[in-house]
Chain A
Amino acid sequence: MQRWPVVLFLAWVCFLFFAGIGLFMSGFLLTRIELASSSSCSDPLVPPLWERQSLPPGSCWAPQRFSKAVLVIIDALHFEFARFDPAKASPLPYENKLGVLHQLATSQPRHARLYRFRADPPTATMQRIKGLTTGSLPTFIDVGSNFASYAIQEDNLLAQLVQNGRRVVFMGDDTWEGLFPKKFFRSYFFPSFNVKDLHTVDDGILQHLYPTVDSGEWDVLIAHFLGVDHCGHRHGPDHPEMAKKLTQMNEMLRSLVDHLGNDTLLLVAGDHGMTETGDHGGDSEKEVNAALFVYSRTPLFGSGPPEEPETIPQVNLVPTVALLLGVPIPYSNIGEVMAELFAGDSDAVSAALQQLSVYHINAKQVDRFLQSYSLVAQDLPAEQLQHLQELFSSAVEEHTQLLTQVQGTTVPPELKPRLGSLIGRFQRYLREARAVCTQSWARFHPLRMVGGCILIASSCLLCYMASELATSSRSLCHSCLLYPLFLGSLGAGLLWLVHVFTQEGLDLLLVSSWAAAASQLGFFWHWWGQHLKRARLTGSQPPLASGGLRQRLQAWLGLAFPMGILVFRCGAMFSDSFVVAEARVAPFLLASLVMLLVGKLHWDGHLTVPEGPKQQLLGVSSYRREIWYLLCLVAMLLVCVRLSSFFHQCREEIPQCRPSVFLSPLASLRNTRAKNLFYLLCVALLAGLVYAVQSWLRHYGNLNSSDPLVLFVRWGFPLVVLCIACYWAVASSADDSLGKLQELVQVAVVVFPRAVYGLASMGLLLLLCNPMTVFAKDTRESAGSIVTPYLGVPGSEVDFLHVIPQIYKRMQESQKSRLERGSCRATVAAYGLGSVYSAALVIALTLLGFLLMLLHSERLSFAFLLLFMEAFVLLHIHTCARGLAGDAELFSVPWYAVISWLLAASQFFYSTGHQPIFPAIHWNAAFVGFHLDHSTNLLPAVLVGANTFASHILFAVGCPLLLLWPFVCEVSTSQRKKPKKESREEVEEHMMEMRLRESPEEFSTALLRLGLKYLFVLGAQLLACVCAAMILRRHLMVWKVFAPKFLFESLGFVVSSICLLLGISLVMRVDCAVSTWFSQLRLR
């Protein structure tokens, strides 16, 4: 049997997929590391001592200019919405509606100004709020300390305000509640999720806005209006509804301005723009072009407004507002202050000095951030950082020089141009720093995304072709594996050489994806060559066109039945509603697939006995007896599928959904009786599982030998169950009821899970060392010496006692064998050889099941029971259907079986209480057996990953069972036939899995094809997710639905493929052991 080539080929295919995933991810998911540090008033950053003393009270870093501020955020306020052009005769519905802004800006040019406000992609509301408060560029994954909630961990404007004793009042979009929990002095949140609802949020704010402003109990007021955005999503900007909405906003601003005091700064900002269809999320010009309007009753600007409104990046708002209000700039801000706001009404020179000082503060803060960021992350290019550093230090040097020449407030006139140039240098530094950050944090790489997509797609194609072509593993592995590997390594080597010559940093990802692409090309090239050769060979013969075509058509139609379901499943990835509802989609498709299978079997007439004259007369008995068995199995499967839907977790997109009660741990249950009942049920269920597995093994004779593995199954399994039961008991008991035993409980909570880990890993090790569960009874005469010599003192009485029984036993045996020799020849009877492969897999699956159950909350063990039952039923349906259809190809697993297996895997992903969103991850799995003291991140990641992808793991490891099960079930079918056809079969039947060993070549090919089919179906789902994420990257829901779905799917793919490899390697290992066992038997 070809073991290594099969595993290597599969590993190579996995590598191709991984390279594709990695390439796509590097283009799609931009990451950034969140720093935990925050600024404070006492930072030794700025300004020099003599200047700090002159700060008025209540100010940090810079003198406070406004004691109050109102920030009005109008979601999706495009710049065109805010602009007013009186010359326009027939404005569009969204034009010329915010007249109040224009009025203020023209009547009081030194009090008000309109800006173009450039948002950074991704232009989703949550990311924009983060950007508007932290002054940074949030990416999809801000690697922070806590994934479990959306709360902003980084230093931000609100945190600074609260830290410095300002009262912040908020009203509007409830996204802020999740982002800034418990930060607000007072808050009025309104639900933001329903895009169709244009008015709830706005009317709610208007109800509270003026009373709050008038009451004066606030320092900073934030109002976030959603109506314009929702109107855009619903109707698009070019709609009368939008005109109404903007007019409402205009009225709101007009009366708000009347309510403001002299010491208040008013900021009206859009968080992003919108496209012509009203969507946002991407980086097109229309989406990033928002508006900002600044107004105060006291003069703000030194000069009048420029002709064309200035364009400023969104992050610039943060340092400006922070310094105007006299609070420190948030730590990770990379924005630049809007200097003209600091001019005030003083003369030009003192204004320039004032601006210089805020620039100086700003630059020092950015420099501090860049330095601490480059300490923890390497994603900012080093040489550019170096260049920035130089810019900064030279500017600071000049600044100190300049300050020494300035005495008090009098400035020598010759220093004026130097002041201007210094401001310019600070500006240049800040802008370049921002550009560097933008480049690495806020840009998709379309080329990488497309490349990743193509790699995954071609890997899928490769899987499909190889699984159809692989008639013998030898030819495939030798020719098709060697060429690609050679080409791949050649490609990688060349690329590496190029890198060496160009002296660039070596990007491992790029190298591996180039290698993958090259090796794929190698495969396809080789395949094409073979194809041509074959075509030339057959070209001499007359082609069988018509018959061939018809056959091919029929084959395609036969394939269309399971593949159609797969197409539906993949298509569902492209709609956010279907991704949200996938927990119901997967079971629906699974049920449909199985029903279709039965329908197809019936339609093809496999369920009826071929008609003879006798049946025609009777009419009644024309159905096979198996049909009832099959129908029962299908009914059981449907019941399992339906029951599993009681364990679903909820997503926030479906507000009326209630999470399953089984998800909460038993400890949270108040009712003691119910708690005890559930506990007993869970433990009984575990015991039942062990009993079922043991009796299955016993039935196939795998529990007879006295190998360590079998002993472990007999005694270790109950011990594992006992440990789990104890752990659950300790963990679910009420904390305070135990009193003095508290310390003991603390120990027990750690010890029991660790015992389970230890036992399970011991079991798996035993399984690897000696996976044979065969009991051999050798009735041949052994050639060894008759009596084993006694090793103690010779001649003593003990010696006799040792030897005599042995002699007696020996005599008895020889007598017996002499008697038997007459009747039949000496044979070796092996128990459990027929199911040796599946027995090993079943033991491994049970152990894994225990481990995974331990990681979930207690009552989810019901879901695991359903999982095992459903897998069992699916295997039986597959076996039964194959028996009924009378497939000639024993060694190939049909597509429907693979697809139903994978559908069940994704169904149970949801039924074990998971959802593809970050808040739904079961984080407490990381602390099963560990007490909040992880030294590395690896272990908790493994635990949480195992918890999340439990069903993927189990189904992928169990995948080879699809091939093995029909062989295992051979006995029962042949037994059923026996009464009819009498005993002639007895001699030739009962080969079971040894049939596989008889033809090792076909066995390895079958395993290879099964693995490739599994990878193809997995890869097709992944491809759908990847394409959805790429095509819909401008979609409203991309960061909420598609991107997390893509992440979970790709992680699931990685886990599944690795587990598949492990499962197949386990079968190979068993095969190895069986071979050595046979050779030993032959030697004896």
Chain B
Amino acid sequence: MREAEVRRLLAANLLCALAIVLATLGPAFFLDGFSVLGTHLTWLCVCSVCVATLNIILHLVLKPNQSPKRRSFGHKISRFLKCCIYFFMSCILFHAIIVLYGAPLIELVTETFLFSVLLSTFTTLQCLCLLGPNIQAWIQVFSKNGAMSIWESSLQITSVCSILGAWFGAFPIPLDWDRPWQVWPISCSLGATFGYMAGLIIAPLWIHWNRKQLTYKSR
């Protein structure tokens, strides 16, 4: 049971990583002059959309958290709307935090916002898929003994890795190498993406190695 679930997690995470790779390489066949650095905004959109759709599909297919009772259609709709609002709010919140960290306030607003959308996709969207629009539960997950299943552990690791990646991505910006990827927000979004992918790969491995120590309480 446990092993099988870890394998499922690994498969799902590899799919996500693959989706990012595809989102980077794929559009070049359809769009003229597409490149990650040159048309960064397009890449941000494509990448966020790909990861988001794949996450939602995986969530629908794998159903990591089976809810015991069936809910009415209206309830599902309201839940979905709530999720949308939460996602939007998290984008705004990320935007605000990024600006407070020193991003330009007025110039490059689109870039900053799309970057925050990307970050939300890597973190908030997963929370929404896994835990639903329940902030209490989200916050609970990110404490020492908060994870209740391997999916939640994976969520912990990938979210923290993406945010760390974005944080480290800010480091090369002041350097005088004059590389095209040192422009705001390219290095940060690349950092976040690499962090996310690293998290996707680390999470199953880490869970596999620590499977004896991991004892999940039931909620």
Determine the residue in chain B with the shortest Cβ distance to A606: B143
Task: Compute how far the CA of A896 lies from the CA of B145 in the bound complex, rounded to whole angstroms.
Answer: 24
Minimum C-beta distance from A625 to chain B (A): 15
- Does the CB pair A577–B175 fall under 8 Å? yes
Q: Is the C-beta of A602 less than 8 angstroms from some C-beta in chain B?
A: yes
With A584-B102, A639-B100 in contact, is A605–B144 under 8 Å at CB? Answer: yes
Structural contact, B136 and A619, CB atoms closer than 8 A: yes
- Determine whether B170 belongs to the interface, using a CB cutoff of 8 Å to chain A: yes
Given A602-B143, A603-B143, A605-B143, A578:B174 Cβ within 8 A: yes
Q: Interface extent on A, as a size class? A: 20 to 34
Please pick, from A580, A608, A620, A641, the residue contacting B143 in the complex, using a CB distance under 8 A.
A608
Q: Do the beta carbons of A196 and B100 come within 8 Å of each other?
A: no
The CA-CA distance from A620 to B143 in the complex, in Å, is: 16
Residue of B nearest to A585 (CB): B174
CB-defined contacts of A641 to chain B, threshold 8 Å: 100
B100 is contacted by which of A578, A591, A623 (Cβ under 8 Å)? Answer: A591
> CA of A641 to CA of B102 in the docked complex: distance in angstroms?
9
B contact residues around A578 at 8 Å (CB): 174-175
Within 8 A of A (CB), among B86-131: 97, 99-102
Whether, in the assembled complex, A452 has its beta carbon less than 8 Å from a beta carbon of chain B, the answer is no
Q: Which residues of A contact B145 (CB under 8 A)?
A: 605
B3 contacts A by Cβ under 8 Å: no
Cross-chain contact A584 with B174 (CB below 8 angstroms): yes
Q: Does B181 make an interface contact (CB < 8 A)?
A: no
Interface 1/0 per residue, A541-564 and B, CB below 8 Å: 000000000000000000000000
Residue in B97, B136, B175, B176 whose beta carbon sits within 8 Å of that of A620 in the complex: B136
Which B residue sits closest to A595, measured CB to CB? B97
Q: Which residues of chain B come closer than 8 Å to A642, judged between CB atoms?
A: 99-102
Known: A603-B143, A608-B143. A581 touches B100 (CB 8 A): no
B167 at interface by CB-CB < 8 Å = yes
Chain B: minimal CB distance from A561 (Å):
13
**A581→B174 contact, CB < 8 A:** yes
Q: A592-B167, A603-B144, A604-B144 are in contact. Are A645 and B175 (CB under 8 A)?
A: no
Q: A603 contacts B142, CB within 8 Å?
A: yes
Measured CA separation A588–B176 after assembly (Å): 19
Say whether chain A's binding surface is mostly helix, strand, loop, or mixed.
Answer: helix
Does B101 lie within 8 Å of A591, measured CB to CB?
A: yes
Query: Is B178 located at the chain interface by the 8 A CB criterion?
Result: yes
Tell me the complex Cα distance, A142–B25, Å. 58
Interface members, chain B 124-152 (any A CB < 8 Å) = 136, 139-140, 142-145
B175 touching A196, Cβ below 8 Å: no
Q: Say yes or no: B102 contacts A588, CB within 8 Å.
A: yes
By the criterion CB–CB under 8 Å, are A622 and B174 in contact?
no
Q: Give every chain A residue within 8 A of B136 (Cβ-Cβ).
A: 619-620, 622-623
Contacts of A588 in B (CB 8 A): 101-102, 170
Q: Are B102 and A587 in contact (CB under 8 A)?
A: yes
Would you call A843 an interface residue if the criterion is a C-beta within 8 Å of the partner chain's C-beta atoms?
Answer: no
Q: How far is the CA of A585 from the CA of B136 in the complex (A)?
A: 34
Interface residue? A575 (CB, 8 A) = yes
Query: Closest CB-CB distance, A656 to chain B, in whole Å?
Result: 12
Name the residue among B97, B167, B170, B174 with the largest chain A CB count within 10 angstroms. Answer: B174
Whole-angstrom distance between the alpha carbons of A577 and B182 in the complex? Answer: 13
Q: Contacts A588-B170, A592-B167, A603-B144 given; indicate if A196 touches B102 (C-beta within 8 A).
A: no
What would 20 A/B residue contacts be, using CB atoms closer than 8 Å?
A: A577-B174, A580-B174, A581-B174, A584-B102, A584-B174, A585-B174, A591-B101, A592-B101, A592-B167, A599-B142, A602-B142, A603-B143, A603-B144, A604-B143, A605-B143, A605-B144, A605-B145, A638-B101, A639-B100, A642-B101
Interface residues, chain B, CB within 8 Å of chain A?
Answer: 97, 99-102, 136, 139-140, 142-145, 167, 170, 174-176, 178
Binding site for B on A (CB under 8 A): 196, 575-578, 580-581, 584-585, 587-588, 591-592, 599, 602-605, 608, 619-620, 622-623, 638-639, 641-642, 645
* Apart from A581-B174, A588-B102, A605-B143: 9 A-B pairs, beta carbons within 8 A: A578-B174, A584-B102, A584-B174, A603-B144, A604-B143, A604-B144, A605-B144, A620-B136, A638-B100
